[in-house]
């Protein structure tokens, strides 16, 4: 899993690329922390390039969504086809869980 970052207009913009699974979730979390995910600015995370996700990956996203205040909220957008397919197959309802914007 690669985490790409940029900051514009006070918002931390991140993109996740690769597998978001139990095998990668710890490193991904560490990379998100290093990128400033727990900082004072709001953050947006693109999920467009996520190749695979399991419940550990979903748990990480839920944690990120719930651990931030309204002032420095995280927003998820651009779900990859695999997230959409797994959402439909397993009824994760990621749109509601994560507040994903389309």
N- to C-terminal Cα separation, the chain: 22
Neighbouring CB atoms inside 10 A of 70's CB total 6
Is residue 72's pLDDT more than 80?
A: no
Average pLDDT, rounded, for the chain: 85
Tens-digit pLDDT profile for residues 44-68: 999 999 999 998 998 999 899 888 7
More confident residue, 20 or 97: 20
pLDDT category at 8 given cuts 50, 70, 90 is confident
Instruction: Check residue 3 and report its DSSP letter.
Output: E
Is residue 27's pLDDT more than 80?
A: yes
Please tell me the distance from the alpha carbon of residue 75 to that of residue 64, in angstroms, as a whole number.
9
pLDDT category at 99 given cuts 50, 70, 90 is low
2-8 and 11-20: which strand pairing?
antiparallel
């Amino acid at each position: 899993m690669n985490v790409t970052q940029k900051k514009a207009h006070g918002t931390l913009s991140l993109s996740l690329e690769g597998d978001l699974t139990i095998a990668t979730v710890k490193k991904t979390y560490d990379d998100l922390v290093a990128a400033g995910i727990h900082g004072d600015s709001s953050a947006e995370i693109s999920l467009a390039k996520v190749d695979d996700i399991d419940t550990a990956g979903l748990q990480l996203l839920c944690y990120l969504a719930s651990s931030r205040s309204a002032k420095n909220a995280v927003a998820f957008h651009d779900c990859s086809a695999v997230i959409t397919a797994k959402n439909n197959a397993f009824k994760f309802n990621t749109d509601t869980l994560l507040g994903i914007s389309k």
